[in-house]
Amino acid sequence: MGQLKEATRDFLKGRPFSEYLKSPHFYRFLQWKEHEKQRISAKYFYEFRTLGRGGFGEVCAVQVKHTGQMYACKKLDKRRLKKKSGERFALMEKQILEKVNSHFIVNLAYAYDTKNHLCLVMDLMNGGDLKFHIYELGKRGIHMERVVYYSAQITTGMLHLHSMNIVYRDMKPENVLLDAKGQCRLSDLGLAMELPKSKTICQKAGTTGYMAPEILRQENYRMSVDWWALGCSMYEMVAARLPFKDFREKAQKEEVTRRTLEDECKFDHKRFDDLAKDIIGRFLKKKVAHRLGCRSGDDPRNHSFFKGINLHRLEAGLVEAPWMPNPNIVYAKDAHKLRETSEVEDMTFESKDMKFFKEFSTGAVSIQWQKEMIDSGVFDELNDQEPNGHGYESDWKSSVCIIS
């Protein structure tokens, strides 16, 4: 197989590539790439209502003016980032999002800056987050059929991150968002880190109530912490509470390190079935070596809990969701209940700050931009005629005005 690939590569880079370079198709490709690399600014979008607020800014809905594509824009306040020394994490999140392309992770489409904000434009998720579904939609907790489905998608997303040596470190229902079709994706990679093989970290990071024992003890860890957090999240989806009684970090640390799981994490909710108890218990093993997902080649999706899901179809995005959002309902808290962010007094940006802003603001992300051009019909509209020498160039220049 290796020799065949090499022979094919050698053939294609010879005469076929030379002919391609002389063809109108190569000229068309260069024009598309040039347009893809255009500078992106706030003028590229219409801005709509605020969807949420956080420590560094807010998230609002935006629409690309020339294609009609809707996105969510995460606006990070430059002054607040500098005051809290959050630049490194913001850049790390942006760089990781650029690398990731998955059905199960919120994908990045554009990165740009304004006078006051750094902006990450990502997939718009209309169905709300899982925390909202657990606590705000009538009966507390989520039906087991949905727990199985969401857990399979979350696991697939985390396996994708882990395959790229990325540890998530902030797995919790609040960071799992549903799209308009009821499919869920991991979001907010602000604490994610890329760890080269064999490298470990002991940095304390995450959210109280979801942090693994090795994080609380500040021991070296890699991807194991994500599986613990998933176990906590699955328990919460069913029982509408975290598995350990006292949510305070100090108390939780004592519980996790001094008591057995059976003593403290009681599966006392009537909706836990045997398979749910088993898989959650395996995710919540205190010893990493015994925890589900932590052994080499271990795929948690092989557990019987997921026996009703075709994994190949799931990975292709072809498994229908057991619950669909109503397009006429906003699955989020009222705007006045959103957390307000305090104002930061004016501060002077230095040359290193300007260098950071430039490094962050790279414009369109290739795969997502190309997908938008295709899905919106712009690509077909600009390529519905065969190139005809000089006429093709003029056709392009007259047509490109609709998206530039």
Write out the catalytic residue numbers.
170
CA dihedral 299, 301, 307, 312 (to 10 degrees): -100
Are the CB atoms for 360 and 111 separated by under 8 Å? yes
Are the CB atoms for 78 and 90 separated by under 8 Å? no
- CA dist 105 and 169 (Å) reads 14
Distances in Å between the Cα of 9 and the Cα atoms of 17, 21, 23, 29 are: 11, 16, 20, 20
Per-residue three-class SS string for the chain: CHHHHHHHHHHHCCHHHHHHHHCHHHHHHHHHHHHHCCCCCHHHEEEEEEEEECCCEEEEEEEECCCCCEEEEEEEEHHHHHHCCCHHHHHHHHHHHHHCCCCCECCEEEEEECCCEEEEEEECCCCCEHHHHHHCCCCCCCCHHHHHHHHHHHHHHHHHHHHCCEECCCCCHHHEEECCCCCEEECCCCCCEECCCCCCECCCCCCCCCCCHHHHCCCCECCHHHHHHHHHHHHHHHHCCCCCCCCCHHHHHHHHHHCCHHHHCCCCCCCCCHHHHHHHHHHCCCCHHHCCCCCCCCCHHHCHHHCCCCHHHHHCCCCCCCCCCCCCCCCCCCHHHCCCCCCCCCCCCCHHHHHHHHHHCCEECHHHHHHHHHHCCHHHHHCCCCCCCHHHHHHHHHHHHHCC
